[in-house]
């Protein structure tokens, strides 16, 4: 009986270890922290190393579908649709995320990123910053159903 319980327990731990992150495959509306308007939809994808990326699926603000003209390197003049703006985001336990980076297509700058799921997973509160988290901006994204 003990061997069966141990085997079931190990199987359960293996299933938990292999479970996809709660953000994996979800789609979110990005909400501009200044205008409070929806700007785009992004989809999170879990990578083989367990980190998350988020890629722009659609642009919701008319006239802003253009290329990332202020971006540098491989992002320069790339279309916003299909652009990966979040990279390396890791689940740091429960509903908390950190160690990521986010690209702001308007400024072309990349910021460190941390976040937390809120409202039962219906909102994603993000903080982009340079250096220390106290020096940054907040955005709350809303899950697309």
Quick: pLDDT tens for 42-75: 999 999 999 999 999 999 988 777 788 888 888 8
Does residue 109 contact residue 101 with C-beta atoms inside 8 Å? no
Provide the 10 A C-beta neighbour count for residue 118.
12
Query: What pLDDT does 128 receive?
Result: 95
Q: Which domains does the chain have, with CATH numbers?
A: 22-143 (2.40.128.520)
How many Å separate Cα 41 from the centre of its chain?
11
pLDDT band at 114 (very low <50, low <70, confident <90, very high): very high
Residue 21 pLDDT > 80? yes
β-pairing, 38-46 vs 84-93, is unpaired
Q: pTM of the predicted model, to two decimals?
A: 0.83
Distance from C-alpha of 97 to C-alpha of 95, rounded to nearest angstrom: 7
């Amino acid at each position: 009986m003990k061997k069966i319980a141990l085997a079931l327990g190990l199987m359960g731990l293996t299933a938990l270890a292999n479970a996809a992150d709660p953000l994996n495959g979800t789609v979110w509306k990005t909400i501009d922290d200044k205008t409070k308007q929806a700007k785009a939809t992004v989809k999170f994808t879990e990578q083989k190393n367990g980190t998350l990326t988020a890629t722009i699926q659609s642009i919701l603000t008319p006239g802003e579908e253009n290329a990332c003209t202020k971006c540098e390197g491989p992002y320069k003049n790339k279309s916003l649709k299909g652009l990966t703006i979040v990279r390396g985001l890791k689940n740091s336990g429960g509903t908390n995320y950190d160690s990521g980076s986010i690209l702001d297509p308007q400024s072309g700058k990349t910021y460190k990123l941390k976040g937390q799921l809120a409202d039962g997973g219906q909102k994603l509160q993000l903080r982009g910053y340079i250096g220390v988290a106290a020096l940054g901006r907040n955005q709350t994204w809303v899950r697309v159903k």
